[in-house]
A and B are shown apart, each in its own frame.
Chain A
Amino acid sequence: MPGISSGIHIALQAILAHAQTIEVIEHNVANANTPGYRRQSAILETTVPSPILAAHKGMGAGMRGGGVRVAQIQRFNLEFFDGRYRGVAASTRYWEARRDILLQIEATLAETSEDGLINKLDNFWNGWQYLAGDPANLSLRVSLLDDARVLAEGFNRRWEQLQQIRLDQNQAIASQVDEINTYADEVARLNKEIARIFSTGERPNDLLDQRDRVLDKLAELSGAVAHEQKNGEVMVSIGGHVLVMGVQALHLTTRPKTGDTPMVEVVWEADTPQQVVNLPGGSLKGILEVRDQVIPEQMQGLNTLAAQIIQQVNALHSSGFGLDGTSGLPLFTGTDAITMRLNDAVTVENLAAADAAGQPANNGIAMAIAALRSQSMPGLGNTSPNDYYNRQITTFGTLTQNAMQNSTTHGLVAKALNDQREAVGGVSLDEEAANLAKAQRAYQAAARVLTAYDEMLDRIINGLGLVGR
């Protein structure tokens, strides 16, 4: 039965519903700049209409409406975009990590500067060439010995620098593993909260925002993928291995790498035996790949080149004769880039330029060694030493260029996807202003309706039954 009290109730409900709407708008405006915040909106719906049928006599027609209520507070998010974004973000971070280390190596090697190894090779060959022009000249011999020492040191230093860069990655790997573990714990904690609130039928919007943000970070670090379960929890996995399941997080850890001891590798902590983590993407994968593939290839190239030069130069040098008739001395000791040294026993006097004893003006060996510069060697894939190293620089430059281009293009795609996410879930202040105005007006109107009932009650209470007063 329609009555004044039910009318007041409807008006009150309207006032409360619109007040709540305004509160949601306030929350949106307050979080307009919060990273990862997804806008929320109060969804209004009519309450269940009064079950009393119009068929009752004298009651008027139809089912009467019971007013408005806030059905739920909706969160604007598209899981589809989240998944896409995380995939692309993982590859962006992968390429960026590669790019950063490669650029660092490029700067360290400084091949285009005076300090480049090519330059040192050139000086060494030229030293022999000069000596071939004047084989008994002592000052040329002094400077050639110096060139040879600089060349050996150039090889040593490059090799050490590359190894140092590899070693430096240990720290980066350890700190990223720590981050992944922390985030995994956070996801597990949020899972617990979210599932609890889900079970009450509510939507824990702000917690979902937080969890999405953490999942973004996990994807960027390790390429982790997340699947939402029915109860609101997410299951996170890296390369097919579970990282977070429900409220439980599994941890990663580092251990010395077998066969490459100063380096560490990333394994699953709880597995027995511990398995190496198979990373599908993310910055950690980029770091590990450069450390374990790109840099070792460069170092291998250096070793091959050094070994060939040591071998070929020594073969010629030890067959030659010094000014003092000494023969059989190798010019270099060592067998690869890190062990290569100028033989201490070689002096200005016994440096061999001649191919016969007691002939100070004989330059046979000097000419032969100078000619090694452009001689293709089977050990270097039938290229000359300079060409071989040149090719290595080119390969490395191409890798770096590739990483730079890929990080830019993937970054653009990630940005576009993020823009789309932002378009759906970001806070537009104009929109909030319009909604605020709408809610405010509705609130005012409901209050006015309440005033009307108030006046009606006033009439009934104070205006009726005054006859004979």
Chain B
Amino acid sequence: MRVTHQGMINNSISHLTSNMEQIARLQSKIAAGKKNLSPSEDPVNTAQGLTMRSTLNNLQAYRSTNDLTREWMEATDYHLEQVQTIGVRAVGLITRGLSDTMGSAERQNALAVEIDGMINQLLQIGNTQHKGEYLFAGFQIHTQPFVMPDQNTLVYQGDNGLLQRSIAPGQSVVMNIPAETVFRPIIEALVSARNALQDVNFDRNALQTAFDQLQSALDVVDTQRTGLGARIRQVAAASDGIDKTEIELNALLSRKEDLNMAEAITMLRGQEATYQAVLEVSRRAVSALSLFDYLR
């Protein structure tokens, strides 16, 4: 094939240009630390990366929900524990009241007053606020749930609504308890117990009935607290799952998107060596003497 001078020069230029282009691309990749600078370099990989990034974003939202949910549930659990403690103490007091050794003055003054205090404590617990929201009001988190207009009547102003929270994709949990079913029996049992104790004509049977009521009310508290504990574990498990998924996804994403620096720098070195060789060859090609220099 005939090779012309212009052809040789054009070739040199195009080789130099394509080499420079490669070097420039490698440099930008190294600077950005990314495998692909634009979706068109690897569309499928980019799409997968974007999906993973979306999932990661979503997981963060779940994580925040989980943290809030868990705080709420743990606050609820703590207060149910207090209800249990009070209940157990009340059982002790009423048992003493049932015994024949106690005089009516002692019953009315010591026991009834203490039980009355417990009723107030339970009422306070029922009206606990968590970050400014009532724990036991169902959906009505801005309404005080338990009110006693007189000392025998308990009014529930909440709605027993169950607060659903999604804690992981496709998984949701109820984070509160049906408060009225927990608080009404125990408070009403204590109210009857107090009234029985206060009664001048002490009716042992009435106190016994109140005692039985209290026992079954405590059973309800127990059941609810156990159920709540199981749900707290569920939330914890979901959080762990999210943590694991997040770590895995991050690793995968890094494999998809991040540049292997060692490899890229080695490639850059190689490309630079090639470029130097092309420069050297081009120098000769471009400056080569022609026959004109030798004929005389």
Measured CB to CB, the residues of A under 8 A from B are 32-33, 102-103, 106-107, 111-112, 116, 118-119, 121-123, 125-126, 129-130, 132-134, 136, 354, 356, 358-364, 367, 370-371, 373-374, 386-387, 390-391, 393-398, 400-401, 404, 415, 419, 422-424, 426-431, 433-434, 436-437
Q: Which of A106, A370, A374, A429 has the most CB of B within 10 A?
A: A429
Q: Of the candidates B10, B39, B47, which one forms a contact with A106 in the assembled complex, judged by CB atoms under 8 Å apart? A: B39
Given A360-B139, A423-B7, are A130 and B61 neighbors across the interface (CB < 8 Å)?
yes
Report yes or no: A106 in contact with B58, Cβ–Cβ below 8 A.
no
Report yes or no: B39 in contact with A112, Cβ–Cβ below 8 A.
yes
Q: Of the candidates A370, A404, A422, A437, which one forms a contact with B7 in the assembled complex, judged by CB atoms under 8 Å apart? A: A422
CB-based nearest B residue for A323? B142
CB distance from A81 to the nearest CB of B (A): 13
* Contact indicator per residue, chain B 39-53, by CB within 8 Å of chain A (1) or not (0): 111111011011101
Asked if B5 CB lies within 8 Å of chain A CBs, one says yes
Cα(A387)–Cα(B55), bound, Å: 11
Report yes or no: B164 in contact with A363, Cβ–Cβ below 8 A.
yes
The secondary structure that dominates the B interface is helix
Residues of A within 8 A of B51 (CB): 386-387, 390
The secondary structure that dominates the A interface is helix
Asked if B149 CB lies within 8 Å of chain A CBs, one says no
Cα(A92)–Cα(B203), bound, Å: 106
Cα(A125)–Cα(B56), bound, Å: 13
Q: Offer 11 A-B interface pairs, CB within 8 angstroms, sorted by A.
A: A122-B58, A125-B61, A130-B61, A133-B69, A359-B139, A361-B137, A361-B140, A361-B161, A361-B163, A373-B58, A393-B43
Report yes or no: A370 in contact with B166, Cβ–Cβ below 8 A.
yes
Asked if B254 CB lies within 8 Å of chain A CBs, one says no
Q: Which of B39, B44, B64, B172 has the most CB of A within 10 A?
A: B39
Residues of A within 8 A of B137 (CB): 361
CB distance from B261 to the nearest CB of A (A): 19
Cα(A391)–Cα(B50), bound, Å: 10
CB-based nearest B residue for A371? B166
Residues of B within 8 A of A428 (CB): 2-5
Residues of B within 8 A of A373 (CB): 58
CB distance from B84 to the nearest CB of A (A): 25
Measured CB to CB, the residues of B under 8 A from A are 1-7, 10-11, 14, 36, 38-44, 46-47, 49-51, 53-54, 57-58, 60-62, 64-65, 68-69, 133, 137-142, 159, 161, 163-166, 169, 172, 290-292, 295
Report yes or no: B169 in contact with A391, Cβ–Cβ below 8 A.
no
Residues of B within 8 A of A134 (CB): 68
CB distance from B213 to the nearest CB of A (A): 30
Cα(A394)–Cα(B42), bound, Å: 9
Report yes or no: A434 in contact with B291, Cβ–Cβ below 8 A.
yes
Residues of A within 8 A of B50 (CB): 111-112, 116, 118, 390, 393
CB distance from A244 to the nearest CB of B (A): 29
CB distance from B85 to the nearest CB of A (A): 27
Report yes or no: B4 in contact with A422, Cβ–Cβ below 8 A.
yes
Q: Of the candidates B6, B47, B164, B291, which one forms a contact with A393 in the assembled complex, judged by CB atoms under 8 Å apart? A: B47
Cα(A116)–Cα(B50), bound, Å: 10
CB distance from B167 to the nearest CB of A (A): 9
Given A129-B62, A374-B169, A433-B292, are A106 and B40 neighbors across the interface (CB < 8 Å)?
yes
Residues of A within 8 A of B291 (CB): 429-430, 433-434
Report yes or no: B61 in contact with A126, Cβ–Cβ below 8 A.
yes
Cα(A119)–Cα(B5), bound, Å: 54
Given A361-B161, A429-B292, are A400 and B39 neighbors across the interface (CB < 8 Å)?
yes
CB distance from B268 to the nearest CB of A (A): 21
Residues of B within 8 A of A397 (CB): 38-40, 42-43, 46-47
Given A129-B58, A361-B139, 12 other A-B contacts at CB below 8 A?
A32-B5, A107-B38, A111-B50, A121-B54, A132-B65, A136-B133, A136-B142, A360-B142, A401-B41, A404-B40, A427-B4, A429-B291
Residues of B within 8 A of A106 (CB): 38-40
CB distance from A111 to the nearest CB of B (A): 6
Q: Of the candidates A102, A130, A354, A398, which one forms a contact with B139 in the assembled complex, judged by CB atoms under 8 Å apart? A: A354
Cα(A434)–Cα(B58), bound, Å: 77
Q: Which of B1, B38, B53, B164 has the most CB of A within 10 A?
A: B38
Report yes or no: A422 in contact with B165, Cβ–Cβ below 8 A.
no
Given A360-B142, A428-B3, are A133 and B57 neighbors across the interface (CB < 8 Å)?
no
Residues of A within 8 A of B42 (CB): 397, 401
Cα(A107)–Cα(B40), bound, Å: 10
Residues of A within 8 A of B44 (CB): 394
Cα(A126)–Cα(B133), bound, Å: 23
Cα(A422)–Cα(B1), bound, Å: 10
Report yes or no: B166 in contact with A393, Cβ–Cβ below 8 A.
no
Residues of A within 8 A of B14 (CB): 415
CB distance from B249 to the nearest CB of A (A): 14
Given A361-B139, A422-B6, are A437 and B169 neighbors across the interface (CB < 8 Å)?
no
Q: Which of B10, B11, B68, B166 has the most CB of A within 10 A?
A: B166
Report yes or no: A122 in contact with B57, Cβ–Cβ below 8 A.
yes
Q: Which of A103, A356, A387, A419 has the most CB of B within 10 A?
A: A419
Residues of A within 8 A of B140 (CB): 358-361
Q: Which of B36, B44, B142, B290 has the most CB of A within 10 A?
A: B290
Cα(A437)–Cα(B295), bound, Å: 8
Report yes or no: B46 in contact with A112, Cβ–Cβ below 8 A.
yes
Residues of B within 8 A of A33 (CB): 6
CB-based nearest B residue for A123? B57
Report yes or no: A130 in contact with B64, Cβ–Cβ below 8 A.
yes
CB distance from A115 to the nearest CB of B (A): 13
Given A125-B58, A370-B166, are A133 and B64 neighbors across the interface (CB < 8 Å)?
yes
CB-based nearest B residue for A408? B18
Closest 7 CB pairs of A and B: A397-B43, A359-B139, A426-B4, A133-B65, A400-B40, A433-B291, A397-B39
Q: Which of A33, A356, A394 has the most CB of B within 10 A?
A: A394
CB distance from B147 to the nearest CB of A (A): 18
Residues of B within 8 A of A404 (CB): 40
Report yes or no: B133 in contact with A361, Cβ–Cβ below 8 A.
yes
Report yes or no: B290 in contact with A429, Cβ–Cβ below 8 A.
yes
Residues of B within 8 A of A111 (CB): 39, 46, 50
Cα(A424)–Cα(B7), bound, Å: 11
Cα(A119)–Cα(B57), bound, Å: 9
CB distance from A405 to the nearest CB of B (A): 10
Report yes or no: B4 in contact with A423, Cβ–Cβ below 8 A.
yes
Report yes or no: B60 in contact with A126, Cβ–Cβ below 8 A.
yes
Cα(A109)–Cα(B127), bound, Å: 53
Report yes or no: B46 in contact with A359, Cβ–Cβ below 8 A.
no
CB-based nearest B residue for A359? B139
